[in-house]
């Protein structure tokens, strides 16, 4: 059997190539070309001394030697499928390490609780995904954590003023950003915020910048390369991409992710082996799927732009390149992705008529799958957001969010146009 490529040679390959090879040695699995599913709860030790050493490392009793691997113990702590997946997730984002979770919300909650304690402050950009909004406005305050919303489209000087005010006693520990924002596609200046937060302390005293990159995914935006400390994903979306798995991830420096992983062990929010195995399968086609869905999204967005029953298309690819947002997009993103929102002429009745008339697109929440989906954020994903916040941040009754899949683009364009034609004028 030919030798497996070394990790050093793999690093010279393109991401699409690495995602089929990184972290897996076929010789350790009877020559299987694909990584098998390690559907096991526990792992046998070769000796009692080995078991003792593995637990010493896992519980932080002893430091791991530079050339020492963390041995397999129990699938709440580690598992071959998870370890290979975590290596491969780092490729696009350029992360040192990643940790995978049972859902995107598990990743967000565990990461925040790792670095933000009772009495601390966390700032966040609004709007956020509805689940994240509920965590900020209802759950974290009940643990004695102060949460401070900042409009996603606020200028950097405005953000600076708010952040310095809440950090007067050095209590600001983190800022959580969604860029683009869900569901309005507002971009946040990641590099500018990273520089701003870096001026507010040194080392562990500096507030961390965490970016939820779910809407663009690792192909079209890499927040760590723009100064973010942590990047968060609902892997359910583009990375999973087949609407058959729930998962999340946090990526960053080896030191930060070691802390996140330690808390994950004791909260029990780790991903299961089968879901990790499914995600490894999906990663192999990530670029192909995202490129096709992005091209389809451009066709659909362009077709909607001039329709008389459409008030506005919130699509990144339509930004004026000379505008502030357009320049930020050109600097921060390599593509517009395939999720965007549309404001229709009218209100909720017209939005519902449009949604009910779709034939190819399916009426469902989520995004980033092979199939196209349409939803009504104000009454669905963001139903728990208070009415005033919806008004301020543009989550209006006439707003429809579209996630474009990999179907034939002509069918998708025809579908949205016939659905619009059915809406009462």
Catalytic positions, written as ranges: 76, 129, 212, 237
Measured over the CA atoms of residue 319, residue 320, residue 325 and residue 329, the dihedral's sign is: positive
Question: Residue by residue, what is the 3-state secondary structure of the chain?
Answer: CCCCCCHHHHCCCCHHHHCCCCCCCHHHHCCCCCCCCCCCCECCCCCHHHHHHHHHHHCCCCCCCCCCCCCCCECCCCCHHHHHHHHHHHHHHCCCEEEEECCHHHHHHHHHHHHCCCCCEEEEEECCCHHHHHHHHHHHHHCCCEEEEEECCCCHHHHHHHHHHHCCCCCEEEEEEECCCCCCCCCCCHHHHHHHHHCCCCHHHCCEEEEECCCCHHHHCCHHHHCCCEEEEECHHHHHCCCCCCCEEEEECHHHHHHHHHHHHHHCCECCHHHHHHHHHHHCCHHHHHHHHHHHHHHHHHHHHCCCCEEEEECHHHCCCCCHHHHHHHHHCCCCCCEEEEEECCCHHHHHHHHHHCCCCEECCCCCCCCCEEECHHHCCCCCCCHHHHHHHCCCCCEEEEECCCCCHHHHHHHHHHHHHCCCC
Is 393 within 8 Å of 151 (Cβ atoms)? Answer: yes
Q: Please state, in angstroms and as integers, the Cα–Cα distance from residue 62 to each residue in 58, 66, 67, 68, following that order.
A: 9, 12, 14, 12
């Amino acid at each position: 059997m030919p030798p497996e490529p070394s990790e050093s040679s793999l690093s010279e390959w393109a991401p699409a190539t690495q995602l089929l090879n990184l972290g897996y040695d076929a010789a350790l699995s009877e020559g299987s070309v694909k990584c098998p599913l390690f559907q096991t709860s526990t792992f046998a030790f070769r000796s009692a001394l080995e078991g003792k050493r593995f637990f010493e490392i896992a519980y932080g009793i002893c430091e791991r030697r530079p050339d020492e691997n963390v041995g397999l113990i129990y699938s709440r702590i580690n598992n071959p499928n998870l370890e290979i997946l975590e290596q491969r997730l780092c490729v696009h984002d350029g992360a040192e390490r990643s940790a995978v979770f049972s859902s995107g919300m598990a990743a967000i909650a565990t990461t925040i609780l790792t670095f933000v304690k009772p009495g601390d402050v966390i700032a966040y950009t609004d709007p956020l995904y509805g689940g994240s909004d509920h965590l900020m406005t209802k759950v974290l305050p009940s643990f004695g954590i102060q949460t401070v919303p900042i409009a996603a489209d606020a200028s950097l000087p405005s953000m600076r003023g708010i952040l310095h005010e809440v950090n007067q006693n050095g209590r600001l520990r983190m800022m959580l950003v969604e860029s683009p924002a869900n569901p309005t596609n507002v971009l946040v200046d990641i590099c500018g915020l990273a520089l701003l937060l870096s001026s507010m302390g040194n080392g562990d005293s500096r507030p961390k910048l965490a970016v939820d990159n779910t809407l663009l995914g690792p192909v079209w935006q890499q927040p760590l390369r723009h100064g973010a400390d942590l990047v968060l994903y609902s892997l359910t979306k583009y990375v999973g991409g087949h609407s058959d798995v729930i998962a999340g991830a946090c990526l960053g420096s080896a030191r930060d992710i070691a802390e996140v992983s330690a808390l994950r062990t004791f909260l029990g929010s780790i991903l299961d082996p089968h879901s990790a195995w499914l995600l490894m399968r999906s990663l192999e086609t990530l670029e192909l799927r995202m490129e096709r869905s992005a091209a389809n999204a451009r066709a659909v967005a362009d077709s909607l732009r001039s329709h008389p029953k459409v008030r506005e298309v919130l699509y990144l690819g339509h930004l004026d390149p000379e505008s502030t947002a357009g320049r930020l997009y050109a600097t921060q993103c390599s593509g517009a992705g395939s999720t965007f929102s549309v404001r229709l002429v009218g209100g909720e009745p017209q939005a519902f008529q449009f949604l009910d008339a779709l034939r190819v697109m399916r009426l469902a929440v989520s995004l980033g799958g092979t199939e196209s989906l349409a939803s009504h954020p104000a009454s669905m994903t963001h139903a728990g957001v208070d009415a005033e916040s919806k008004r301020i941040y543009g989550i209006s009754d006439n707003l429809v969010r579209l996630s474009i899949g990999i179907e034939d683009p002509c069918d998708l364009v025809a579908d949205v146009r016939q659905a619009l034609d059915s809406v009462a004028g």
